[in-house]
């Protein structure tokens, strides 16, 4: 089968790495890919959000199945477009992807269907007087979120009134997120333990993958700015017990699938539940994404023993019940090697060395890399993901990740030293 994967990060490298283990996959392309991905696939020079260009490519090259990594092509309707052209594709249609690309849609959907989430109000930029009055009498900390996609930066936690007023000004007047910030959600601050759970859905049924935990802040101990994610581990057994997972299924995943279908937007693809688990082990939804998480994918997919291509096809063709998920016993921990300065300004083009010294207890997924004149160079904020694994325990997986991360050298390399520790 000829397969096309869309995207260029560590998540897509993990997807490609696992897909090529499938005997079903005879040829694999990735658009646009990166230096690591393009070693095992045919790189296609089309951007992930150029959905018309991707359609032309898929038709010309007789692609039989397409897997979408990032959120932007989903928001643009790539699944609707490919499906209308008779092409099989893994992911949700545009109206179902609203669970991610409109926070207001997601919050209102949860409210009307009794899915547990933080209390909230929504405001439009014409409501400035109303929002200021709300801020005056709110409880702090308070969370302000841009409605639309903001590359993971659209959530601001405000400690007091002044910060909240400043944030609203930046969103409504300075338009730091453009039109994505013209509507906002203001919500209650939730306390507890965060976890990520992926459900692979086919519109009616689903299966869940092992829970994981991301490390979103740039600094150790969850300090400093929010990033795309600096590391992750799985399974997150301490944060999500069997009992908690069953609450997540019954209170979150099942109602999402049931009511999205009832409301005319059946959900296929990966439903990413970003959850806060409170002290009584009750889950609350912080956010939905409608695609795999990055870097959680780099620790979740390697746990799958069964065929990933079969799983994706079962999801896309409404047949997930027939798929038998098999997992291995390993623990996984991935450490992101970033460019110093990320998530703000950073330099690229630094030569990367040491990838030939990686031991057999680790897998390196490329995120922001490119190749030039035979040299491997940094090409982004998040550069590489070093995933260590062990059947013995999480601690061993963490050690393998860090031992191998140390062997990789490039100028301005930055990593967090505490990935996975919260899972011990
Ligand atoms: P999001 O982009 O929605 O995942 O939000 C980014 C991060 O902000 C989350 O991972 C949480 O750490 C934090 N966050 C978002 N909403 C809330 C909330 N209601 N209460 C506490 N923390 C939150
Ligand atoms: N790791 C967070 C995300 O993918 O949105």
Using 70 as the pLDDT threshold, list the residues of the chain that sit under it. Answer: none
User: What does the pLDDT read at residue 128?
Assistant: 84
Query: Which pLDDT score is estimated for 154?
Result: 86
Closest protein CA for atom 3 of ligand 1:
287
The domain spanning residue 9 has which CATH number? 3.40.50.20
* Structural domain contains residue 286: yes
Atom of ligand 1 nearest to the CA of 287: 3
Omega before residue 141 within 30° of 0, cis: yes
pLDDT of residue 211: 98
Identify which of 206, 202, 187 has the alpha carbon closest to the alpha carbon of residue 110: 187
Shortest-distance atom of ligand 2 to CA 291: 4
- Considering only CA atoms, which of 260, 291, 261 is closest in space to residue 273? 291
Asked if residues 325 and 311 have their Cβ atoms less than 8 Å apart, the reply is yes
Taking the CA of residue 287 as reference, the ligand 2 atom at the shortest distance is 5
CA dist 230 → 27, 92, 188, 293 (Å): 32, 26, 25, 12
Q: Helix, strand or coil for residue 423? A: helix
Q: What is the CATH classification number for the domain harbouring 418?
A: 3.90.600.10
- 98-121 pLDDT, tens per residue? 999 999 999 999 999 999 999 999
97 located within any domain: no
Per-residue pLDDT, 310: 98
383 and 410 in contact (C-beta within 8 Å)?
A: yes
Q: What is the dihedral of CA 189, 190, 196, 197, to 10 degrees?
A: -120
Residue 296 inside a domain? The answer is: yes
Q: Give the integer Cα–Cα distance in Å for 334 and 388.
A: 6
Is 343 found in the same domain as 304? no
What pLDDT score was predicted for residue 337?
98
User: How remote is the CA of residue 409 from the centroid of ligand 2, in Å?
Assistant: 26
Residue 150 CA to residue 255 CA, distance in Å, equals: 27
Q: Decide whether any atom of ligand 2 lies within 6 Å of the 229 Cβ.
A: yes
Instruction: Look at residue 336 and give its three-state secondary structure.
Output: strand
Report if residue 112 sits inside a domain.
no
Mutate to test the pocket of ligand 2, among 69, 232, 272 (most ligand atoms within 8 A of CB): 272
Q: Which residue from 216, 293, 416 has its CB within 8 A of the most atoms of ligand 2, so it is best to mutate? A: 293
Contacts of residue 424, Cβ cutoff 8 Å, sequence gap at least 6: 238, 394, 395, 398
CA 366 to chain centroid: 16
For 390-416, what is each residue's pLDDT tens digit?
Answer: 999 999 999 999 999 999 999 999 999
Please indicate, yes or no, if residue 102 is contained in any of the structural domains: no
Cα of 215 from ligand 2 centre, angstroms = 10
* Domain match, 160 and 83 both: no
Same domain, 253 and 197: yes
Q: Return d(Cα 408, Cα 418) in angstroms, integer.
A: 18
Considering the domain architecture, whether residues 318 and 345 belong to the same structural domain is answered as no
**How many angstroms separate the CA atoms of 220 and 183, rounded?**
32
Residue 163 shares a structural domain with residue 208: no
For the stretch 294-330, what's the b/e string if a residue is b when 16 or more beta carbons lie within 10 angstroms of its beta carbon? bbbbbbbbbbbeebbbbbbbbbbeeebeebebeeeeb
Contact 243/358 with Cβ under 8 angstroms?
Answer: no
Domain check: are 25 and 81 in the same one?
A: yes
When divided into structural domains, the chain yields a total of 4
pTM for the full predicted model: 0.96
Residue 237 in tokens: 């057994």
User: Does residue 235 have a cis peptide bond before it, meaning omega lies within 30 degrees of 0?
Assistant: yes
CA of 298, nearest ligand number: 2
Residue 114 falls within a domain, yes or no?
A: no
Query: Range of 73's domain?
Result: 2-91
Q: What are phi and psi of 29, to 5 degrees?
A: -120, 150
């Amino acid at each position: 089968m000829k397969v096309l994967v869309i995207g260029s990060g560590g998540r897509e490298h993990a997807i490609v790495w696992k897909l090529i283990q499938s005997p079903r996959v005879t040829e694999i392309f990735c658009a646009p890919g990166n230096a690591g991905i393009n070693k095992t696939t045919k790189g296609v020079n089309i951007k992930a959000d150029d959905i018309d260009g991707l359609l032309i490519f898929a038709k010309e090259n007789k692609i039989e199945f397409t897997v979408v990594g990032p959120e932007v092509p989903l928001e643009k309707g790539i699944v609707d477009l490919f499906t209308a052209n008779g092409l099989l594709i893994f992911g949700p249609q545009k109206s179902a992807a609203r669970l991610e690309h409109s926070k207001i849609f997601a919050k209102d959907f949860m409210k009307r269907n009794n899915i547990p989430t933080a209390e909230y109000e929504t405001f439009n930029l014409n409501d400035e007087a109303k929002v200021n009055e709300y801020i005056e009498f709110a409880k702090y900390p308070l969370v302000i979120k841009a409605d639309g996609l903001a590359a993971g930066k659209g959530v601001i936690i405000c400690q007091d009134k002044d910060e909240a007023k400043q944030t609203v000004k930046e969103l409504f007047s300075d338009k730091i997120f453009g039109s994505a910030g013209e509507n906002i959600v203001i919500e209650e601050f939730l306390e507890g333990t965060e976890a990520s759970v992926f459900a692979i859905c086919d519109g009616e049924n689903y299966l869940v993958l092992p829970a994981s935990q991301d490390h979103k802040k740039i600094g150790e101990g969850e300090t400093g700015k929010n990033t795309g994610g600096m590391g992750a581990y799985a399974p997150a057994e301490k944060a999500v017990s069997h009992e908690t997972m069953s609450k997540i299924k019954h209170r979150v995943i099942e109602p999402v699938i049931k009511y999205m279908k009832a409301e005319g937007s059946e959900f296929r693809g990966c439903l990413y539940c970003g959850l806060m688990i409170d002290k009584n082990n009750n889950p609350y939804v912080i956010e939905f994404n409608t695609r795999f998480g990055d870097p959680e994918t780099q620790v979740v997919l390697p746990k799958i023993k069964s065929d990933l291509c079969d799983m994706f096809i079962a999801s896309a063709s409404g047949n997930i019940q027939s798929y038998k998920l098999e997992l291995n016993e390993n623990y996984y921990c991935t450490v992101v090697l970033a460019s110093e300065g990320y998530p703000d300004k950073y330099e690229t083009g630094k030569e990367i060395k040491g990838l030939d010294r990686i031991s057999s207890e680790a897998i390196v997924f490329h995120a922001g890399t490119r190749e030039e004149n035979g040299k491997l160079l940094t090409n982004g904020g998040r550069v590489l993901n070093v995933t260590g694994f062990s059947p013995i325990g999480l601690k061993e997986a963490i050690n393998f990740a860090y031992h191998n991360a140390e062997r990789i050298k490039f100028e301005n390399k930055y990593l967090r030293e505490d990935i996975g520790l919260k899972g011990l």
